[in-house]
Structure 1
Amino acid sequence: MTKIYFFGECMVELRELDDATMGQSFAGDVYNSAVYMKRCFANITVAMVTAIGRDRLSEKMLTRFKREELDTQFVFQHPSKVPGMYFIETDSAGERRFTYWRNDSAAKKVVQFLNDDVVEQLTAADMFFFSGIPLAIIDEDSRDAFWQKLECLKLAGVKLVFDPNYRAQLWVSKDDAIAQFNKAFHLSDIALPGVEDLSVLYGIKSAQEAIDFCQQYNLEEVVVKDGPKSVITLTGTERHSHQITPVTNVVDTTSAGDAFNGVYLGARLSGKNVFDAVQLGAKAAGTVIQHPGAIAPLVAFKQAMSEAGI
């Protein structure tokens, strides 16, 4: 069976429902992508690689993973750490503002759980997905070990997929982020960058420039997301621009790129061509942004994707 591991952090999400009430859920970029992939492609084994705690919220998080039918074999439970948490606010255009509490996040310690036996088991995967966010939060003294483990996976034939999500507040400096992102690009087989992230770090201003930038690396496949404007792909020497129909009813842009990533990769793992995979990913992103929070309601999301043909 086709299998993909999503490496990173899931957090406790808080959202104001009214002046006196908070809603609580779970979200995080790699987790969001995993959820949306599994909802669309039941035949793919979708697994999380992360660390949580042993507290009540961690147990609820683990239960949610299982409810979303994610493989939890490598969801490790740290004896003293807890999940990170964030509060999300959105403006009238659906744009987001976050307040974070993650200094004691268990996910910062996940690399210490990846011993040789675990890495050997991870080599059974078809893909291993990671983003710039777990790169930022894992302990700095664990980064060399992390890259060594990824090299083992690559040597075993696992395709490495990198989404360069950049959050400035998570890094000591921009130079530090660039150094780590460069390593990720060099090692990866597939990259899923957004123009906005590359613009901040590398001064890239357009999707075409992003494709040109990625060509310096030995990437098999590049998918550049430029918000609601377009998606540009590069596979081998074939470069294509894909037009996306913008959504007018934007409620919350949280997780749009994550949904695209999960469904795009699920489509590719299921044998669909790049053109169809882009359109399915765009449909997922367009559906998610019409609902509040990172994870859209199951029924509404599945209905929309069913109408798209999956």
Structure 2
Amino acid sequence: MTRIASIGECMIELSGRDGATWKQGFAGDTLNTLWYLRALLPEDIATDYVTAFGDDPFSQEQIAFLSGNGIGISHSPVIPGKAPGLYAVSLDDKGERSFTYWRSDAAARRLADDRDALAASLSDAGLVYFSGITLAILDEDARSAMLAIVEKAREADTAIAFDPNYRPRLWPNRDAARAAVNAGYRAATIVLPTFDDEQALFDDESPADTVERIRQHGPGEIVVKSGGKDALVAVGMAAHPVAPPQPVEPLDTTGAGDSFNGAYLAARLSGRTPQEAALFAHSVAGRVIRHHGALVPMEGFSDLRFPGDILSGQAFEKM
């Protein structure tokens, strides 16, 4: 059985505010991406969310929520006395969102404390996914340890996908963020950046500049997202823009890039070319932004799920 592992932070999400009333859910960038991978791939592809949980009732709810949606937790530790982080999403009249966070002492910041457990969680995975937020919530020693474990998995022929997902407030300064993101590029075989983030962090002038800069770190497949605009798909030395199939008026852009990543990776695992995968990912993201919240119910993608007979363990070897 083939397995996917996504590393990061599952948070309590407050969204859909109506006066003083909020809708509670669970989300987080790397969880969002795994959610759409799970929604789009056959059931025999195992999915694990790799993090650290607290021993509080909300953490137990998180684990039950994941399990109820076909997502395991592998060897993720439970940290006594800890609890999940929390964030609230506010929307303007154009569907653009702003976030308020309470996460400084979240359990997920301890996900790399037990190196053996983390290594066991990634062992034998065909695809490992992580983000710049995964790196940002860890202290320097834990971050280095996590990257070393990811690189060891890559050396064992695991495909490694990375979204730099730069969030300035999580970093002490740009130099620290640049160093960590560059290390993430070097660990990855597939990089899925967003141009606005790369421009903010590295002063890139265009998506093509982003591709050329990231190429120097070694990943052979780079897909630069630009919101509702063309994605730039670069494999080897070739780069091709891929436009969305049609314009979509968003209700809520939360999770758009994460859903693009999940759909892109699902399509690649299912044998689609990078350009075909980017077009498919645009379609999925377009569906997601017509709903509120980061996680659209999985049954809403049943018509797009890839059949099991086109997947095999070799799909991971070709990524």
The question of whether the paired residues in 2 share the 8 Å contact of 1:229 and 1:246 is answered with no
Instruction: Report deviation, 1:246.
Output: 4.5
Instruction: Report deviation, 1:74.
Output: 2.7
Residue 279 (structure 1) aligned with residue 246 (structure 2): no
Instruction: Report deviation, 1:75.
Output: 3.0
Quote the sequence identity (%): 37
Structure 2 match to 1:70: 71
Structure 2 match to 1:58: 59
Structure 1 match to 2:262: 262
Q: Deviations over 1:112-162 (max 9, x none)?
A: 1231x6515623111111100010001233122222212221222212211
Q: Map 1:284-299 to 2 at 5 A.
A: 284-299=284-299
Unaligned runs of 5+ in 1: none
Q: Deviations over 1:240-262 (max 9, x none)?
A: 11111344331100000000101
Instruction: Report deviation, 1:299.
Output: 3.5
Structure 2 match to 1:139: 139
Distance 1:65 1:120, change over 3 A: closer
Q: SS of 2:93's equivalent? A: coil
Q: SS of 2:75's equivalent? A: strand
Structure 2 match to 1:156: 156
Structure 2 match to 1:37: 37
Unaligned runs of 5+ in 2: 311-319
Query: Structure 2 CA distance, aligned partners of 1:104 and 1:212?
Result: 37
Query: Structure 1 CA distance, aligned partners of 2:104 and 2:142?
Result: 16
Query: Structure 1 CA distance, aligned partners of 2:16 and 2:172?
Result: 30
Q: SS of 2:172's equivalent? A: coil
Residue 90 (structure 1) aligned with residue 91 (structure 2): yes
Question: What is the count of residue pairs matched by the alignment?
Answer: 306
Distance 1:118 1:213, change over 3 A: closer
Structure 1 match to 2:216: 216
In structure 1, what residue type is equivalent to 2:9? E
Q: SS of 2:113's equivalent? A: helix
Q: Map 1:115-126 to 2 at 5 A.
A: 115=116, 118-120=118-120, 122-126=122-126
CA RMSD of aligned residues (A): 1.8
In structure 1, what residue type is equivalent to 2:187? L
The question of whether the paired residues in 2 share the 8 Å contact of 1:123 and 1:156 is answered with no
Structure 2 length as normaliser, TM-score? 0.91
Q: Which has the higher contact order (CA 8 A, sep 6+)?
A: 2
Structure 1 length as normaliser, TM-score? 0.93
Range 143-152 or range 26-35, more displaced: 143-152
Q: SS of 2:145's equivalent? A: helix
Structure 2 match to 1:108: 109
